[in-house]
Amino acid sequence: MTSWVSRLFPRNACTLATSSKNQGHEDCHRQHKAYGYFLPIQTRWQDNDQYGHVNNVVYYSYFDTIINHYLIRYCGLKTSLLTSPMVGFMVTNQCTYHSPIGFPQIPVAALAVEKVGHSSVHYRLALFPPKHTEELPSVDDRDLCDGFFFGHPKLAQFDALACTTGSSVHVFVNPTTSKPAGLPENFRRGLLKLMSPASV
């Protein structure tokens, strides 16, 4: 099915810009199995723009939310400059839009780790809309606090194809010197748990 975004461009624009190989990778990245960690996101009224759907810049805040949620919850990231031995600078962001969502939908954000360097982390991200049913997805406090991992039965409440995909790169630095800081071993272990889906 042709996405609503592609209909806005000339008929041959997608074929000129994207090879079939890249398109295959993109299609894989739109599936649940390409990700290890999931976090429901409650859209807000203010997220919608004048066209009645979530504005394009807001998706970056959803992606930022799942990344930092995972780092804090499962990697032990400290967010206070007074106590943290490192801070993360987001140096690259990219987002591809396949279909729109809007308030009051509850999509689920998805996270995978593609590469862990000495001081950098490359993430792959997606947002899956809820399935088209009369009822909103059943999300409780635990889902919002802990998220859930691939294979959880609650994934069945969300579409099989992502409405948005993206990528980001963090570089972690010493908060005093702003120079790259090596990732602590426990922090690295938490990230490596999400490496397996990256091979999909």
Question: Which three-class secondary structure state does DSSP give residue 112?
Answer: strand
Integer Rg of the chain from CA: 17
Asked if residue 139 has pLDDT above 90, the reply is no
Burial 27-55 (b: 16+ CB within 10 A, else e): eebbbbebbbbbbbbebeeebbeeeebbe
Phi, psi of 131 (to 5 degrees): -65, 155
Query: Model confidence at 16, in pLDDT bands (50, 70, 90)?
Result: very low
Give the rounded percent of residues in the chain with a pLDDT score beyond 70: 82
| CB distance 123 to 170 below 8 Å | yes
Q: What is the mean pLDDT of residues 169-185?
A: 92
Q: What is the mean pLDDT of residues 26-47?
A: 92
Asked if residue 171 has pLDDT above 70, the reply is yes
Please name the helix (run of DSSP H) or strand (run of DSSP E) that holds residue 97, with its range, or none: strand 87-97
Task: Check residue 21 and give its pLDDT.
Answer: 57
One-letter identity of residue 98: H
Give pLDDT tens digits for 81-111.
677 788 999 999 999 999 999 999 999 999 9
Query: Model confidence at 24, in pLDDT bands (50, 70, 90)?
Result: low
Which residues does 65 contact at the CB level (< 8 Å), separation at least 6? 39, 41, 109
Task: Check residue 138 and give its pLDDT.
Answer: 82
| CB distance 84 to 184 below 8 Å | no
Question: Is pTM, for the whole model, over 0.95?
Answer: no
